[in-house]
Amino acid sequence: MAFRFLIYNFTMLLQTIKKDFIQYKAQAEPGNFLTLREAAFAEFEKLGFPTTKQEEWKYTSLKSITDNTFQSTCEIKSLVNDLFYASIESKLTANFLVFVNGSLVNELSKIIEKDNSIVISSIATARKNNQAIFNHHFGKYAMVEGLAMNALNTALLSDGAFVFVPKGKTVEHPVVIFNISDASDLNVLAQPRNLIVAEEQSTLTIVETYYATGTNASFTNVVTETYAGKGAHVEHYKIQQQAGACYQNNFTQFFQEADTNINHVTLTLDGTLVRNNLHFYMNGENCNSLLYGLYVTDNKDLVDNHTRVDHAKPNCFSDEKYKGILKGHSTAVFNGKIMVHLDAQKTNAYQRNQNILLSDDATVNTKPQLEIFADDVKCTHGATVGELDEESMFYLRSRGIPEDVARKLLLTAYAVDIAEKIKIPELVELLEQKIDGKL
Amino acid sequence: MLEIKDLKAEIEGKIILNGINLVVKPGEVHAVMGPNGAGKSTLSAVLAGRADYTVTGGEVSFNGKDLLEMSPEDRAREGVFLAFQYPVEIPGVSTTNFLKTAINEKRKYLGLEPMEATAFLKFMREKMELMEMDKALTSRSLNEGFSGGEKKRNEVFQMAMLEPKLTIMDETDSGLDIDALRLVSAGVNKLKDGERSFVVITHYQRLLDYIVPDFVHVLYKGRIVKSGDASLAKELEAKGYDWIKAEVEQGANT
Ligand SMILES: Nc1ncnc2c1ncn2[C@@H]1O[C@H](COP(=O)(O)OP(=O)(O)OP(=O)(O)O)[C@@H](O)[C@H]1O
Ligand SMILES: [Mg+2]
């Protein structure tokens, strides 16, 4: 059975990791990394892969993944360089950490930040050079209990980005975490793991981006944890453009101390199956959390955005807007959970999910989920599924703009509204062209 | 220019236009008046090609071509322009980008090269000055957050940019302050060249002081029930519609 083969692979991998870790332990300071991963793997074994019988996975079947076998490989091909240099992200003046199938590619990675107190490195390096900070934060925010895919990532993580911004510092240039799945030779599995620590009053921009190459399948199971210390400001943009037979499960957790600002944008422009889990936990007062998403789907693709905002403390604000454009036989899932805890008085939480169906065969499953335990809160939510506004279409056409051009103008405007939440103008401009090409 | 023959239209089975006859010759200005719900906006929408209405009878020819056969965009590119009673707000589409697209699509249709970016901007600046349009307005999303008067002025600005052969204005004067009314009229009068024609739908004589009509028509219950010269508008202003309604009822009874 394919499924068993997959587990078999993972077990092999785990043994390798165990061996590596034992070696590491023999020559370095003791830590709880191995214990953590063993526990995570036990949790994964207990839970197994999520199935559609579980409420959280009702519309998203991982069968196409679990029916496949995947290998972890770190052989780097030269065409990966071409892909990198052709990408819009590579045009940015930025810090780059480039990972192929989860392993760091030194030749393409480049850190231009001058301040030595700011750390931008791989997880592997951070575990040597920034052990205390790493151990203090790793695995503290993205939980594994009950979350099989997080458990799997924690147990078998390959490598990933580590960013540390000390108190009061500003990272001048964006940090681009550039992931490539190279499925040229075989089905590949990557389990990147990112840890971002922005201390008190620091400022940072992260661009997390995904590409794929090769005709085989790829499966990316990534976890990103971000800790935002008091008053920190984090801009975080996720751009998913994995063309081909690409599967991705993406878990992103923000842990916010008081007075933090987080602006997050997810753009899903390609991918056979993309499941995004975006979690915010507000652990202090006066936090602002902005969650914006755009998905453009086609063929038989499935894009599933599950978000969860935990208003755990009073006086916090969250604004969420996800927009979709669906073509072909594609499916979109949106599930937006807002938890307003008992303590969280004066919460303001807004949520919208809008969808435009350009095909009769496309499907949207959208569900807001508000759980409010405090009494003095303002929460609104709304979901729409429909076609382009007819009044607007007629208005444009009545000025001599042909139907197809008018439709594209309106769709671009609709999509760009989200893309423009990204505060890097050069990137937005290039993304707009990209989005335009998709419509 | 425009010839409407026994035009009938309905929506959801409800007859709204019930045999309209109207001939507009090049260079003429026609005012269309009539009580609320008479079918004035419906007439303008049917001429512009709104799909909500079903044309159940009659013909409309525009410069010898069958207007009703054409898509809304082709009508526009042939030279028909409708200034909407309620212009739509379109977030995310800037007025500049919108107008550049519209002008170049029209040029493409007419077999002309697209307008150079600098020439376009110069042309637009001229028309903005004419309409005293604030630069801030054109850089914003189309009509988004515009005041009622600003939207109307933007319609006439678009008309000035697109230089249509036939302009249909649906209550462009409603909601305009005195200065804006003067500007809107100036925009129209500037475009008048003895060839271009105008159908001006209005409730008020006020506008017709500035844009003097050659003919005034009264639309009532989906029909043009009375036509006359500019003095008819003055008479309506003074007397209202009751006498016309009475005339129609009487006509129906005899
Ligand atoms: N979509 C629609 N569905 C049903 N009835 C409609 C629709 N649109 C228009 N009507 C009806 O058609 C009639 C004519 O409407 P129209 O808007 O053309 O009037 P009008 O002469 O422009 O009035 P006003 O002076 O108030 O602008 C009205 O009775 C109106 O209610
Ligand atoms: Mg009307």
What is the pLDDT of chain A when averaged over all its residues?
Answer: 91
Interface of B with A in 160-199 (CB under 8 A): 162
- As a whole number of angstroms, the distance between CA B20 and CA B8 comes to 7
Residue A47's pLDDT is what?
A: 87
Q: What is the mean pLDDT of each run of 10 residues along chain B (254 residues)?
A: 96 94 97 95 96 95 96 97 95 93 96 95 92 85 92 94 96 90 91 94 92 95 94 91 89 70
Ligand in closest contact with the CA of B36: 1
pLDDT at A39: 87
So what's the pLDDT on residue B132? Answer: 84
pLDDT class of A38 with cuts at 50, 70, 90: confident
Distance set, CA A354 to CA A85, A129, A240, B107, B135 (Å): 34, 45, 19, 35, 32
Return the residue whose CA atom lies nearest to atom 19 of ligand 1: B37
d(CA A264, CA A289): 8
Q: Is the pLDDT of residue A4 over 80?
A: no
pLDDT at position B59 is: 96
pLDDT at B254: 62
Tens of pLDDT, residue by residue over A393-437, are 999 999 999 999 999 999 999 999 999 999 999 999 999 999 988
| Alpha-carbon A213 to chain mean position | 19
pLDDT band at A7 (very low <50, low <70, confident <90, very high): very low
Q: Does residue B135's CB lie within 6 angstroms of at least one atom of ligand 1? A: no
Give yes or no for residue B41 CB within 6 A of ligand 1: yes
> At residue A13, does pLDDT exceed 90?
no
User: What is the tens place of the pLDDT at every residue in A53-76?
Assistant: 999 999 998 887 777 777 776 566
Share of chain A above pLDDT 90, in %: 79
Query: What is the DSSP secondary structure assignment for residue A55, as one 8-state letter?
Result: G
Which amino acid residue places its CA nearest to atom 25 of ligand 1? B36
B42 lines ligand 1 (CB under 6 A): yes
Q: How far apart are CA A237 and CA A266, in angstroms?
A: 6
Its pTM stands at 0.88
Q: How far apart are CA B160 and CA B183, in angstroms?
A: 12
Q: Which of B57, B47, B114, B54 is nearest to B83 (CA)?
A: B47
B49 touches A: beta carbon within 8 Å = yes
pLDDT value at A3 more than 70: no
Q: How many residues does chain B have?
A: 254
pLDDT of amino acid A70: 73
Amino acid at A88: I
Residues present in chain A in total: 439
pLDDT of residue A354: 97
pLDDT band of residue A149 (cuts 50, 70, 90) is very high
ipTM of the complex model: 0.96
Chain A nearest C-alpha distance from B169 (Å): 13
- Residue A270's nearest CA partner among A228, A299, A233 is A299
Protein residue whose Cα sits closest to atom 9 of ligand 1: B42
Chain A 417-436, residues with CB within 8 Å of chain B CB atoms: 417
Q: B11 in contact with A at a CB cutoff of 8 Å?
A: no
Q: Where residue A303 falls among pLDDT bands split at 50, 70, 90?
A: very high
Q: Which residue has the higher pLDDT, A105 or B130?
A: A105
- Using CA positions, which residue lies closest to atom 6 of ligand 1? B11
Q: What angle do CA B56, B62, B65 make, to 5 degrees?
A: 85
The Cβ of residue B181 has, within 10 Å, a number of other Cβ atoms equal to: 22
The answer to whether B102 contacts chain A (CB < 8 Å) is yes
Q: What is the pLDDT of residues A377-391, one digit of tens each?
A: 999 999 999 999 999
For residues A106-116, average pLDDT: 96
- pLDDT-based confidence at residue A42 (cuts at 50, 70, 90): confident
Instruction: Write the DSSP symbol of residue A147.
Output: -
| pLDDT digit string, tens, across residues B233-251 | 999 989 999 998 998 888 7
Q: Are A207 and A263 in contact (CB under 8 A)?
A: no
- Residue A93's nearest CA partner among A175, A209, A206, A160 is A175
Share of chain A above pLDDT 70, in %: 91
A112-134: pLDDT as tens digits: 999 999 999 999 999 999 999 99
Which residue of B lies nearest to A411 if distances are taken between CA atoms?
Answer: B92
Decide: A193 and A159 in contact? Cβ < 8 Å. Answer: yes
Asked if B102's CB is within 8 angstroms of A401's CB, the reply is yes
Across the A:B interface, residue pairs with CB atoms under 8 Å apart total 75
Check residue A15 and give its pLDDT. Answer: 55
Q: What is the pLDDT of residue A73?
A: 67
Residue B82 at interface with chain A, using a CB cutoff of 8 Å: yes
A181's tokens: 């799945």
Q: In this model, does residue A5 exceed pLDDT 60?
A: no
Residue A116 contacts by C-beta under 8 Å, 6 or more apart in sequence? none
Give me chain B's average pLDDT, please: 93
Q: What is the pLDDT of residue A212?
A: 95
CB-side neighbour CA atoms (13 Å) of A257: 13
What does the pLDDT read at residue A342? 96
CB of B12 shorter than 6 A to ligand 1:
yes
Question: What one-letter code names the amino acid at B96?
Answer: T
pLDDT at position B72 is: 97
Q: pLDDT per residue over A171-212, tens digit each?
A: 999 999 999 999 988 888 899 999 999 999 999 999 999 999
